[in-house]
Structure 1
Amino acid sequence: MSISNSELLFVKSVKDGIPNRDPLNDSDARRIFPEEDGRISLSDVSIKRDVRDFVIALYPDGGEKNHIFVQPIINDKGNLLSRKFLALKIAKNVGKENEAKEDMESVLVDHAFDVRTFGIVYSEKPKFHLTGPVQFSWAHSMHPVDTQYVQGTVTMPSTGEGKTQGTIWTSYTVPFAVFSMTGVMNAKSAEHTKMTIDDQELLLRGLWQGTQHRHARGRGQQEPLFLVHIEYNDPFFRIGYLEEMIKLVPDKETWRDDSSRPSSIHEISIDVTELEKVLEMYKDKIERCRIWKHPLLQVDGKLEEYIQEISW
């Protein structure tokens, strides 16, 4: 069964870490807004990596349909596999090596979750390109963020013998921050990639549980807070700008004040009254709206009819 046109709104938090570092800025947080704006950002690539890594963990052998094409796999020589070899690996795993020689597109569409969901650019012969039905925006912090530069030492020296102290490390970190991002699912593109409702539900699960699953010391503690999925019965309609319809409380000026800056989920809430009004305004265009929320998150507004049990 094919998917409907739909929109996503996803809010997550990070504590004691930076979820997406900028290698061109000394591994500090990414900033695509002017310095005076203060917000930091996460790329859509980072969000997709969370989903892909979750699917890999959930289906280690890929199963019948949920292999992951875009992933870092290292061969015996210590080199990353190219797109060609990643594709051939999937074809081999599903027993379609011969079919892949003539029609790699069909093999990957049938057996790779991320190809059906996010699309693919395949530059090996025969070349093909599929636009992904799911497109994410960048995620931006909902408030100004001051990253903190910290340093410490490890007990072991990095090289050599006879050292009297360990290696010094330095890093940027964020004590606490809240991010929002949006996404769209396009039904027409899904017809070309054969994205299914099962893929859609796995994507939603991947956003929530993938945020919790993918971890590394520098990424900090990350938690999904609020996920909205709106499906439309009109293929040419979309509300748009969902991130503008929620507000973080307290406002941005409080986050600029060192003495009153929130440091935990207990000190914030999400005002959804504008989203509530818009959902009512366009209810004749909406096929279904589902919302998942973290049990500790305070929500200001009446969205109870849309709240789903977290049963993943």
Structure 2
Amino acid sequence: MNEGEKMGNEEVKDGEILFVYESKMNNPNGDPDNENIPRMDYSTGTNLVSDVRLKRYIRDYFSDNLKEDKNDIFVKRVEKVQNSTERAKDFNTDPDEIINRCIDIRMFGATITLKSDKGKSDTSAKGKSIKLTGPVQFTWAYSLNQVELVNSYSITTTFSSESGKQQGSMGKDYRVYYSLLAFYGVISSKRAKESKFTDEDLRNLDNAMIMALQSQTTRTKIGQSPLLYLRTEYDKPKFIGDFREYVKLNQGSKPIRSSEDYSLNLESLIQEIKANKECDLAKIWINKRLNVGDRKFLGEKPFNLTNLNE
């Protein structure tokens, strides 16, 4: 076991997360209410991505890479569409079984109404429900740079939209040139106890944050890469607040089109973490392509790091 890696039976501490990734010539998060155009704050030129989109990446990564005995996914893609009550029947409509077996419930929480099958005399589940606010929560991401949309291109499909038509259907393909997106997240120790979220679950989250984007790529998402993952822990709850406010983007006069066109200054954030006596930098991973300047600001022995790329 590497230095700084915890035993699986240790309690999860309060913590905060910064996750930065790039999205290049793709659609980071289309808006279904607006022709699936990338979500934008047009007044600032800022690209937006919902926390639901990030959680979908994490769930799909878990589904493909973790054994289902205690790491099943409650909110998963299935052939037949189900509501939460129907999905609960796969776990015998048992609240404890759902929580113990489903890592996404332990991590993100859920509100699930439980009902017995109609026609059965056993009504023990009637009126029961799961109402958990998960210990791991994320804000919506926003881009650290101003983002330009690629002019929409019409695309055709081989199959027609209606039976009997001879031609394929037409659609629009909306993308961004380059978006440097940042999520901020919080981990609650109190909610971790309530949802039975374990230290092993937390380590699985660490891996998913680094691996999920590229392992779950699709036609509209290819070109996304993780650049920075940072997680803190607190001996006592003394949160710093949104880490993104301490990150400075340095770019030249040209529009950003790749990671070579800018650098990120993390010194203010690291100084804030070091100044917080209750805080420890538990995990940091930096993509080799990300320019963060002179990394000496991390210190000679930077916080028991196990995943820092040099």
Asked if these proteins are the same fold (TM beyond 0.5), I'd say yes
Residue of structure 2 equivalent to 1:52: 59
1:14 and 2:23 are equivalent in the alignment = yes
Q: CA deviation at 1:161?
A: 8.2
RMSD: 2.2
**Residues 161 and 200 of structure 1, relative CA distance in 2, 3 Å threshold:** same
1:9 and 1:188 map into 2 onto residues whose CA distance is 21
Is 1:229–1:289's contact at 8 Å kept on the other side of the alignment?
yes
One-letter code aligned to 2:108 = F
1:4 aligned to which of 8, 13, 22: 13
Q: Which moved more, 1:266-275 or 1:222-231?
A: 266-275
Aligned mates of 2:178, 2:281 — CA distance in 1: 33
Whole-Å separation in 2 of the counterparts to 1:191 and 1:153:
49
Cα deviation 1:167-222 (Å, max 9, x = unaligned): 54421111211001110100001111010000011111111111111222112311
1:28 positional shift: 0.8
More moved, 174-183 vs 148-157: 148-157
- Distance in structure 2 (CA, Å) of the matches to 1:36 and 1:239: 28
Q: Which moved more, 1:134-143 or 1:288-297?
A: 288-297
Aligned: 1:64 with 2:65: no
Q: 2:272 aligns with which of 256, 268, 278?
A: 278
Contact 2:109 2:135 in 1 (8 A): yes
1:1-312 superposed matches below 5 A = 1-31=10-40, 33=41, 35-59=42-66, 62-75=67-80, 80-89=81-90, 91=91, 97=92, 100=93, 104-124=94-114, 125=126, 126-154=128-156, 156=158, 158=160, 168-234=170-236, 236-250=237-251, 254=253, 260-282=254-276, 284-301=277-294, 302-303=297-298, 305-306=302-303, 307-309=305-307
Contact 2:256 2:262 in 1 (8 A): yes
Measure, in 1, the Cα distance between the counterparts of 2:107 and 2:20: 21
Shift of residue 150 of structure 1? 2.9
Q: Structure 2: which 5+ residue stretches go unaligned?
A: 1-9, 115-125
Alignment size in residue pairs:
282
Which deviates more from structure 2 when the two are superposed, residues 119-128 or residues 14-23? 119-128
TM-score by length of 2: 0.84
Once the 2 structures are TM-superposed, how far is the Cα of residue 157 of structure 1 from its aligned partner? 5.9
In structure 1, distance between residues paired with 2:134 and 2:163: 50
Counterpart CA distance in 2 for 1:133 and 1:265 is: 32
The answer as to whether partners of 2:157 and 2:170 remain within 8 angstroms in 1 is: no
Higher helix share: 1
- Structure 2 CA distance, aligned partners of 1:242 and 1:168? 42
Residue-by-residue CA offset, 1:223-252 (whole Å, 9 max, x unaligned): 000011000111x3111121111112217x
Q: What CA distance in whole angstroms lies between the structure 1 residues aligned with 2:180 and 2:58? A: 19
SS at 1:41 equivalent: strand
Q: Matches of 2:157 and 2:56 in 1, distance apart?
A: 32
Cα deviation digits, residues 23-60 of structure 1 (max 9, x gap): 112211112x3x2211010000001001000000103x
Structure 1 gaps of 5+ residues are 92-96, 255-259
Provide the TM-score with structure 1 as the length reference: 0.84
How far the C-alpha of 1:152 sits from its partner, in A, is: 4.6
Amino acid of the structure 1 residue aligned with 2:86: F
Alpha-carbon distance in structure 2 between the residues aligned to 1:69 and 1:285? 35
Q: Distance in 2 between matches of 1:222 and 1:122?
A: 33
Maintained 8 Å contact 1:119/1:133: yes
Native 8 Å contact 2:47 2:179 kept in 1: no
Q: Aligned to 2:68, what secondary structure does the other structure show?
A: coil
Could you tell me how far apart the structure 2 residues matched to 1:19 and 1:249 are? 22
Alignment correspondent of 1:257: none
